[in-house]
Amino acid sequence: MRRATFILGFIMVLSSALAAQQAAPAREIKMTAKKYEFTPAEIRVKQGERVRLLITATDRDHGLEIKELGIKVRLKEGKETPVEFTADKPGEYEFKCSVRCGWRHGSMKGKLIVEPAGSSKVSVPKCLDCPQPEYSPEARKAGLQGTVVLWVDLDDEGRVRDVQVAKGLGMGLDEQAVRAVQRWRYKPAERDGKPVPAYMTLEVTFRIEQDAAPLSR
């Protein structure tokens, strides 16, 4: 009988060196735009981090402008629009809708916060309730093994806000990893003794072990 085992690996991105951030794949953040709001309305990234916003306008065409970063794009209704950039300078940057969408158009704004790469150290979130993912039937049947790499976004209470697949395996294992991690609960990351939001890469490794055959009599 073959049984599945799971190996979990954590890589904190908040305290990574600037060079490591630049070498890492772009962090993907899903957003929506509708009258008269962006969701999320506040985005936190690290200086030097490569970021890819994936924005879907849900009710009509909108726009996204971050003047200081030279970004201005039109967001077509129902289409996911990628916006990629590197957050070079720390600070707070306003983003807003650049396509007039109604009488409250001017209030459709949000905030991009770029934290300094050398900011005070952030502790690693500690997993408090993290049930293992299940092996998908098709992956088990095919004997598929390997590692799913996830981007995990945590709030300041240790709850999982978002999970994205950075590198997948297929055959249902990506979905199983995401489904499991979405239910996990953490002790939040801390900076200077205070709980803070955090994001990290999480490696979920799937292995199938062959049990020893019973002795013949």
> Exposed (0-12), middle (13-18) or buried (19+): which is 141, by Cβ within 10 Å?
exposed
Sheet with 146-154, edge to edge strand ranges? 2-12, 198-210, 146-154, 160-167
For 197, the token pair is: 């939001």
- Are residues 134 and 53 part of one domain? no
Q: List the CATH number of the domain containing 138.
A: 3.30.2420.10
215 inside domain: no
Give domain status of residue 47, yes or no: yes
Residues 45 and 72 in one domain: yes
Contact 156, 197 (CB under 8 A): yes
| Residue 1 pLDDT exceeds 80 | no
Strand ranges across the sheet with 62-66? 42-46, 109-115, 91-96, 62-66, 71-75
Is 77 a member of any domain? yes
Structural domain contains residue 217:
no
My answer on whether 29 and 110 are in the same domain is yes
Opening angle at CA 64, ends 43 and 95, nearest 5: 45
Are the beta carbons of 79 and 50 closer than 8 angstroms? Answer: no
In a domain, 162, yes or no: yes
Print the domain residue range for 148: 2-14+121-208
Residues 156 and 181 in one domain: yes
141 and 197 belong to one structural domain: yes
In a domain, 216, yes or no: no
Q: How far apart are CA 127 and CA 111, in angstroms?
A: 29
Across the range 114-129, mean pLDDT stands at: 78
Encoded tokens for 187: 């002790």
Give the domain-ending residue among 115, 148, 179: 115
Give CA separation, 117 vs 53, 76, 172, 186, in Å. 20, 34, 36, 24
Give how many domains the chain has, as a whole number.
Answer: 2
Decide if 127 is inside a domain: yes
Q: Which of 10-14, 39-43, 152-156, 213-217 has the lowest mean pLDDT?
A: 213-217
Question: Per residue in 23-70, pLDDT tens?
Answer: 457 889 999 999 999 999 999 888 888 899 999 999 999 999 999 999
> Quick one: 151 and 91 in the same domain?
no
Q: Are residues 51 and 129 in the same domain?
A: no
pLDDT one-digit tens code per residue, 162-207: 998 988 999 999 999 999 999 999 998 887 778 888 878 888 888 8
Classified as helix, coil or strand, 116 is coil
Q: Which of 94, 115, 136 is the last residue of a domain?
A: 115
Read off the pLDDT of residues 77-96 as tens digits, 9 standing for 90 and up: 999 999 999 988 888 999 99
Domain boundary residue among 93, 115, 137? 115
pLDDT tens digits, 94-112: 999 999 999 999 999 999 9
